Amino acid sequence: MASLAEKPPEDAPIEISMFKAPECFLYKVPPLKIASGHRAEDWGLGSPQLTGRVEIVGVGTTAEVRVFKQDDGAKPVAVCPVRCAAGSPAVGAVVDDVVDSSRYFVLRLEDAKKRKAYLGLGFRERDVAYDFKATLCDFKRSVDREEKAEADHADYERRQADGADPEPEVDMSLKGRIKISLGDDDGDRPERPKRESAGPADGAVPRLAPPPKPVPRRSPPRPAPPPAAAPPPLENWATFDDACPAADGGGDAADGGDDDDGFGDFEQA
């Protein structure tokens, strides 16, 4: 008969897996040279100490960063606990960003004797590195909300035990006798007073006056044409009297000439 699997103790904390990356790189971190922070270019990025995988597991109010070997993942090779309870160091003090890249971090490791060591952690993809750090920050915020809710509940119970007046409750009950009718039964419904109409007595609908006729738009008057130019004066023009002087009838009769200028008189046949 197969033996039953050993059950964990009831008081064992529940572990919640929050992040997994199938590939990560571990580096040996040299002593800090500048006060601004660690630089990943000083680690020898082309030669990592280990290529493994990483997980973030929530245990109570602590987020543990666990690094495993890729081929043998039974036991982590490094664990970085990020404590998020009140009074704990900030997340950035335990998992610090480097100053020259967003894909590399410095993990502060701690053993049972409280001895500290620093380990460089890097990712190939920038999105994976962002999710790694965002998971830690989100876990920190969730722990802060839970602690605030517990503090508010404890304060409420303390005030209740001291006999303090609780906040007045709002009475949402219905007062008096209320009748609710459903359906189309109008027998008990009171009749509404009819409104007197202002129309004619025979009930005919009054005819409305037609709308006013539109006023035709008058076109603007046309401008008067300019006055015609006056003809030039005739002062310098000669008259027909000057060109054709009047003939002297008496002279012609005395000369005995005729008016036909050499033509004979036509005689009637």
- Residue 5: band (very low, low, confident or very high) from pLDDT cuts 50, 70, 90: very low
Has residue 64 got a pLDDT over 80?
yes
Question: What domains appear along the chain, each with residue ranges and CATH number?
Answer: 15-145 (2.30.29.30)
What pLDDT shows up at residue 102? 93
More confident residue, 257 or 138: 138
**Mean pLDDT across 33-50:** 89
pLDDT tens across 242-267, in order? 555 554 544 444 454 455 555 555 45
Please calculate the CA angle 199-200-202 and round it to the nearest 5 degrees.
130
User: What whole-number distance in Å separates Cα of residue 28 and Cα of residue 36?
Assistant: 19
**Token pair in block for residue 17:** 């897996």
Which of 8, 15, 9, 7 lies closest to 60 in space, CA to CA? 15
User: What whole-number distance in Å separates Cα of residue 224 and Cα of residue 185?
Assistant: 83
* φ, ψ of residue 51 in degrees (nearest 5): -110, 115
- Per the confidence metrics, is the pTM higher than 0.85? no
Has residue 94 got a pLDDT over 50?
yes
4-13, 32-41, 216-225: least confidently modelled range: 4-13
43-47, 114-118, 163-167, 236-240: least confidently modelled range: 236-240
What pLDDT shows up at residue 146? 92
Three-class SS of residue 143? Answer: helix
More confident residue, 130 or 219: 130
What pLDDT shows up at residue 103? 95
